[in-house]
Amino acid sequence: MFVNSNAKYYNAFNLINGIGPITFKKLLAHFKSLKEAWTANLSQLKEAGLEKSAIEQIRISRQKIDPDSEAKKLEKEDIDLITIEDENYPKLLKEIYNPPALLYVRGKFEKKDEFSLGVVGTRKLSLYGQQITPQITADLAKAGLTIVSGLAKGIDALAHEAALKGGGRTIAVLGSGVDRKSVYPTSNGYLAEKIISQNGVVLSEFPLGAIGQPSHFPQRNRIISGLSLGILVIEAPERSGALITARDALEQNREVFAVPGPVFSKNSLGPNNLIKMGAKLVTEANDILEELNLSLLTSIQKNREILPDSKEEGLILEALSSEPLHIDKIIIQAKLPAHIINSTLTLMEMKGKVRNLGGNNYVLAY
């Protein structure tokens, strides 16, 4: 299960409160191995440059933690542990200032994951966000980019779903443990399983059983940007976790992209301000591919012609466009009975010709 014999000690240290990337860096620099660090006395830990509080936490916790039994818990959950010493640790992530010392992983990384883009945004998205997120994300996935996001409600979940629907890869970075009982939010547990079943990856730097809590998410965000060539922000209020991720991306020398939005919408304040500050304005996937110079990836083939299979479908397609239209207006414009419109729209949605954005608002599914 573990790539190196040190891995169980990485996990053991990670179970101790207050032990993060900086402490791991000190331990790795001072001791020949983390196994040696685990058995070190207090004076040796002090020589390694650890704070008094960290040394005390280690002293107390080592009496309660058995590295071998904790490692077996991970094996039981089918969770891989990748340390910063391992060859399969993501190259881009290792470049950042404070990379996580270890990653708990369900699923397998692939070489193509070096071409990844983070997609982030608000949990409370508008109809506009519901429409633009899957359109751009699916095209990026079809072009060969791995989509990275945080499994949160809203933009994150839509981005993961769109990547899977487009036949692409997606990586979910959690602010909780990756074991089934800990996945946060619990309402997206099904999505985590879907990502894994379709050869994606669910990962975290937080140990088995860690719950999702506010302090975890800024840490999680630096991993999303660290895994990615750039970050795309879609709908984010002025104070938003998505903007923290954008800031992390800038500090990590990554590209920042933003989808503009209506000036009167609170959800547009974040991306619109980012654009003012120099972020690349994005209206379609090609804007990102060109900026990242990824023209050698599979080109996007858009077929915007949707052909009707019946007279009723033809009338509905004439009424619809890329702008959301409520079903009541579709009934009026198509001049068909409500029950015919309802049944035809359901069939068209199943065929992938139209999309219901919620509240019976429909658009063409380009």
Tell me the pLDDT tens digit for each residue of 85-115.
Answer: 999 999 999 999 899 999 999 999 998 999 9
> How high does pLDDT run on average in the chain?
91
Residue of 199, 206, 198 whose CA lies nearest to 173: 206
Distance from C-alpha of 111 to C-alpha of 181, rounded to nearest angstrom: 30
Q: Which percentage of the chain shows pLDDT scores above 70?
A: 96
Q: Which two tokens stand for residue 138?
A: 């699916």
- Domains in the chain (CATH in brackets) are 7-107 (no CATH), 111-291 (3.40.50.450), 311-364 (1.10.10.10)
Q: If you average pLDDT over residues 106-125, what whole number do you get?
A: 94
- Give the tens place of pLDDT for each residue, 157-197: 999 999 999 889 999 999 999 999 999 999 999 999 999 99
Say how many C-beta atoms besides its own lie within 10 A of residue 17's C-beta.
10
pLDDT at position 223 over 50 = yes
Vertex 95 angle, CA 94 and 96, to 5°: 95
Q: Which two tokens stand for residue 165?
A: 């629907």
Q: Name the nearest CA neighbour of 121 among 142, 151, 76.
A: 151
Spell out the alpha helix ranges (H) of 166-305: 189-197, 216-226, 241-251, 269-276, 285-291
Region 56-69: what's the mean pLDDT? 93
**CA distances for 31 relative to 7, 18, 26, 44, 300, angstroms:** 15, 19, 9, 9, 50
**Residue 365's pLDDT is what?**
80
Higher per-residue confidence, 6 vs 201 = 201
Residue 302 has pLDDT above 60, yes or no: no
- Both tokens of 113, joined, read 């994951």
Assess contact for 235 and 260: CB atoms under 8 A. no
CB contact burial 65-103 (16+ within 10 A = b; e otherwise): bebeebbeebeebebbbbbbbbeebbebbeebeebbbbb
3-state secondary structure at position 213: coil
Q: C-alpha distances in angstroms, 149 versus 29, 178, 220?
A: 32, 14, 10
Q: What is the DSSP string of 252-291?
A: TT-EEEEE---TT-GGGHHHHHHHHTTPEE-SSHHHHHHH
**The dihedral formed by the CA atoms of 354, 355, 356 and 357, expressed in degrees to the nearest 10:** -140
pLDDT surpasses 80 at 300: no
For 139, the token pair is 């095209």
- Is 356 in a helix, a strand, or coil? strand
Is 63:3 a contact under the CB 8 Å cutoff? no
pLDDT tens string 160-170: 999 999 889 99
Residue 271 has pLDDT above 50, yes or no: yes
83, two tokens = 């340390």
Its pTM stands at 0.81
Question: Given pLDDT bands bounded at 50, 70 and 90, which one contains residue 359?
Answer: confident
Residue 296 scores a pLDDT above 50: no
Residues 6+ apart with CB under 8 A from 291: 230, 255, 257, 280
For residue 166, the model assigns a pLDDT of: 86
Backbone CA torsion sign across 262, 267, 270, 274: negative
**Res 193: pLDDT:** 97
Sorting pLDDT into bands at 50, 70 and 90, what band is 295?
low
> What's the average model confidence in pLDDT over 332-360?
89
